[in-house]
Structure 1
Amino acid sequence: MRRCGSPPCCGRISTKMCCATQSTPSRGGSGAMAAVEPVVAASGGSNLKSRVVVALFLGVVAIADIWIGGPAFTLMIAAGVGLVLWEWGAMHGTPLGWRVAGLVALAGASVLAHLRQPLPALILLLSAILILLALSILMRTGGKRWISTGLAYAGLPAVALIWLRQQPDGFALVMWTMGLVWATDILAYFAGRAIGGPKIWPAVSPNKTWAGLAGGMTGAALFSMLFAHYAGWPQALPLMALLGAGLAVVAQAGDFFESWLKRRAGVKDSGKLLPGHGGIMDRVDGLVPVACAVALWVSLQQPAEYVMAMTERLA
């Protein structure tokens, strides 16, 4: 079996893997981030066909861009989160100038992350968020205040995904992250349709059931174990199943958060960019928190791995 290296939750992060490609993230257009959440809900024949065609096209573009890595991946991510921020501003009635200021901050953070400077990228994001928030408070304009939250919503997963792709096993890590979201989305849909039962939060998302959540967690756990097995990751499979199930809950939380935002704004979709899908936010609502959670998990393993490596050298 071909081994792709091990994810940072166990084993040495610095170990170079056979299937890791030269990485420095990017994102060309809305393709990658828009493709991270496959659409399985049908709403009529022709509409379903357009949804499937768009989802397949974006999925192929996304996977190819992730594999290529480097500037292509960074451009893809930057373009995707830029569209997310633009949709966010449109939902909350944020003036054009404020949205442009947010886009400039996003671009700067993406460039720093691409240059392998994730901490300065996060500092830039935090500074821009605080400045925009302070200005909106001083100007007594609540609508503008939301752009600072939107900047965090779009900027944090951008830095996270770019940084993850730069790891020695970056391709596998990003594919695992996105695959977990896909598996959760698909299995939650079919389990919810087949089993039904009590709703989780009908006031915000009337179609989501506890059975669907359980199905999504099961699907993510199975995907995580299979991916780890075929990628050659040395972690115990029960650990990978636990991680998958936990991240499925995180993905569903992201879905609920975006649904709440849309209900608050009184809109059905975040945008109309993707035929049959709505906007970019509608496709990446689960990926946003999952990408941040995976990046945090990976970063927490690095100090321990560094100490272990130094101990082995001194022994």
Structure 2
Amino acid sequence: MSELAIRTLTGVVMIAVALLASAVGGTIFAVAVAAVATAMYYEWTRIVRDWGLSWKIGGFFYALAPALSLLWVRERDVHGLELLLWVFLVTWSTDIGAYFAGRTFGRAKLAPSISPNKTWAGLCGGVVAAAIVGGAWALMTGLGTLLLMLAPIFAVAAQAGDLFESWMKRRAGVKDSGHWLPGHGGVLDRLDGLVPVAVLTAIAQLLGLT
């Protein structure tokens, strides 16, 4: 099986699990989020094991903040599920758009000293994909037109989160944060973009913007 096929199959399974847990909500969703946050922190501590205590403490909040944000978004009001799915769709479409745009049109490197595979074409592809998919979902579900503007902005934040994790791995001298997910690496490798999107969405909701 090709690497792309393995990556796609694993991605489909992860998406299915995330959607099922999100739809059920309540305790099931909370347990799933807690399990993922624990895995994130475990991988973080392995990466920064020689970097000092402050990095381990920072990793705790790095894993905790998106976990609390996702729980807040899901259970805040009757539109929680729709907004949570918007968070996922923006993150996923950013990743997918960046991957295929980068492979197809990628020439100029975005940050070669941090992540040699990231390109400006990938960045633009991710932003466009998130704007289209996130915007369409916001309009379909009546979440509000403000999310049309937030989708591309949060897509940039998602890719910044990806670059941050790439910088950590490069500094630590590791290729992947873990080996849990065939074709993807570790949990941090898949959720580095979700972290800022989840936190920013929760902040926007707290401020009454969504």
Query: Structures share a fold, TM > 0.5?
Result: yes
Please classify the TM superposition score into its range, dividing by the shorter chain length. Answer: over 0.9
Question: How do residues 42-121 of structure 1 correspond to structure 2 at under 5 angstroms?
Answer: 45-93=1-49
Instruction: Say if 2:130 and 2:155, in contact at 8 Å, map to a contact too.
Output: yes
What corresponds to 1:292 in structure 2? 199
Shift of residue 68 of structure 1?
A: 0.4
Shift of residue 273 of structure 1?
A: 1.3
2:150 corresponds to which of 243, 246, 251? 243
Mapped pair 1:170 → 2:170: no
For the residue of structure 2 that corresponds to 1:276, the secondary structure is: coil
Taking the aligned partners of 1:54 and 1:197, their CA distance within structure 2 comes to 28
Larger radius of gyration: 1
Taking the aligned partners of 1:222 and 1:90, their CA distance within structure 2 comes to 37
Instruction: Compute the RMSD of aligned alpha carbons.
Output: 1.6
Give the number of equivalent residue pairs.
209
State TM-score, norm by structure 1. Answer: 0.63
Shift of residue 256 of structure 1?
A: 0.2
Query: Sequence identity of aligned pairs in percent?
Result: 44
Of Structure 1 and Structure 2, the greater helix share is in 2
Mapped pair 1:152 → 2:61: yes
Shift of residue 46 of structure 1?
A: 3.6
Taking the aligned partners of 2:10 and 2:129, their CA distance within structure 1 comes to 23
Instruction: Say if 2:91 and 2:158, in contact at 8 Å, map to a contact too.
Output: yes
Question: How do residues 126-137 of structure 1 correspond to structure 2 at under 5 angstroms?
Answer: none
Taking the aligned partners of 1:87 and 1:206, their CA distance within structure 2 comes to 22
Stretches of structure 1 lacking an aligned partner (at least 5 in a row): 1-44, 95-141, 306-315
Superposed structure 1 runs of 4+ greater than 4 Å apart: none
Letter in 2 for 1:288: V
The Cα offsets for residues 278-307 of structure 1, whole Å up to 9 and x where unpaired, read as 1100010000111000000110117xx9xx
Instruction: Say if 1:220 and 1:241, in contact at 8 Å, map to a contact too.
Output: no
Shift of residue 162 of structure 1?
A: 0.6
Taking the aligned partners of 2:5 and 2:103, their CA distance within structure 1 comes to 20
Stretches of structure 2 lacking an aligned partner (at least 5 in a row): none
Taking the aligned partners of 1:55 and 1:277, their CA distance within structure 2 comes to 8
Taking the aligned partners of 2:183 and 2:107, their CA distance within structure 1 comes to 27
Shift of residue 208 of structure 1?
A: 1.2
State TM-score, norm by structure 2. Answer: 0.94
Mapped pair 1:196 → 2:106: yes
Mapped pair 1:260 → 2:161: no
What corresponds to 1:226 in structure 2? 136
Taking the aligned partners of 2:88 and 2:60, their CA distance within structure 1 comes to 21
The Cα offsets for residues 22-47 of structure 1, whole Å up to 9 and x where unpaired, read as xxxxxxxxxxxxxxxxxxxxxxx443
Shift of residue 144 of structure 1?
A: 2.7
Instruction: Say if 2:43 and 2:188, in contact at 8 Å, map to a contact too.
Output: yes
Alpha-carbon distance change, 46 to 189 in structure 1, aligned in 2, over 3 angstroms? closer
Letter in 1 for 2:162: D
Shift of residue 77 of structure 1?
A: 0.5
Taking the aligned partners of 2:26 and 2:200, their CA distance within structure 1 comes to 22
Instruction: Say if 1:258 and 1:285, in contact at 8 Å, map to a contact too.
Output: yes
The Cα offsets for residues 137-176 of structure 1, whole Å up to 9 and x where unpaired, read as xxxxx52331111011101101111111112211111100
Taking the aligned partners of 1:58 and 1:199, their CA distance within structure 2 comes to 29
Instruction: Say if 1:183 and 1:220, in contact at 8 Å, map to a contact too.
Output: yes
Question: How do residues 33-48 of structure 1 correspond to structure 2 at under 5 angstroms?
Answer: 45-48=1-4
For the residue of structure 1 that corresponds to 2:139, the secondary structure is: helix
Letter in 1 for 2:83: L
